[in-house]
Amino acid sequence: MQLQKLIKKEVEVVDKGQITLPKQLREKLHIKKTDILILEELPGNKIVLTKKEDIDPLDKLLEFIKTMPKIDLSGAWEEVKTERKKDWREDED
Amino acid sequence: MKYCSDTWFLIKLYEKEEKAIEIIKEIRFGKGRLIIPAVVYTETGRKLMKRGVSLKDINAFFENLFNSNKIEFIVIDKSISDEVIKLCNSFNIAIMDSFIAASYKLFDCDFLLSGDSDYDLLVKHKYLKRKSW
């Protein structure tokens, strides 16, 4: 049996208790933006983080929408309508 | 309720508009379903990119949508194409609109989520029902 190489890293706690998960770990465990981690305190000043797998994708979507930066999409729909009509008119000509 | 999304709806959703979010919640917690025709996916992705949204965020947005078994991506197949030909000839509407309307019809949707009044001719002929706000 091949032993899995486990990652151990030091991370610094910054403002408001935030930490950054090392890229190597994120890639290995496929942790991406909007994923939810369960934080558990263990005896002996230990903390365990577990990736929550059973989240409904639509909950993740709603969470993602909540956290994503506000984008100015004004006029985007009008542009789509204009482009559709333009394509149609060119087709008709 | 089974909905068919026009690009309009996905733009509203990305804009965090309350009513669009309510529809996603209705689908999430109820029996609702949503179909997203390929042309809607393409148009939305293009518009978001043009407005400076990163490809990573666009992918995350669509990945979460399509990971749900209540949301379906509709490819353009022969049956849809045949319906588009019929629609274009009968109603003289834009080809993109026809692809969306044909997807609505062939997938038995209850409402088209669109702010496009060009569909009203199809509404008048009871081909589809449109929901907007």
Domains of chain B: 2-131 (3.40.50.1010)
Q: Is residue A4 over pLDDT 70?
A: no
Interchain contact B57–A (C-beta under 8 A) = yes
Q: What is the pLDDT of residues B69-122, one digit of tens each?
A: 899 999 999 999 999 999 988 998 899 999 999 999 999 999 999 999 999 999
Interchain contact B65–A (C-beta under 8 A) = yes
Residues of A in contact with B71 (CB under 8 A): 58
Residue B92 to residues A92, B6, B12, B80, B88, Cα–Cα distance (Å):
10, 19, 27, 17, 5
User: Which carries the bigger pLDDT value, residue B102 or residue A37?
Assistant: B102
Q: Nearest residue on chain B to A66, judged by CA atoms? A: B16
pLDDT computed for residue B1 by the predictor: 94
Residues of B in contact with A80 (CB under 8 A): 7-8, 11, 43, 47
Q: What is the pLDDT of residues B21-73, one digit of tens each?
A: 999 999 999 989 999 999 999 999 999 999 999 999 999 999 989 989 899 99
Average pLDDT over residues A78-89: 84
CA nearest B76: which of B51, B44, B100? B100
pLDDT computed for residue B96 by the predictor: 93
Whether complex ipTM tops 0.90: no
Long-range contacts (CB closer than 8 Å, 24 or more residues apart) made by A24-29: none
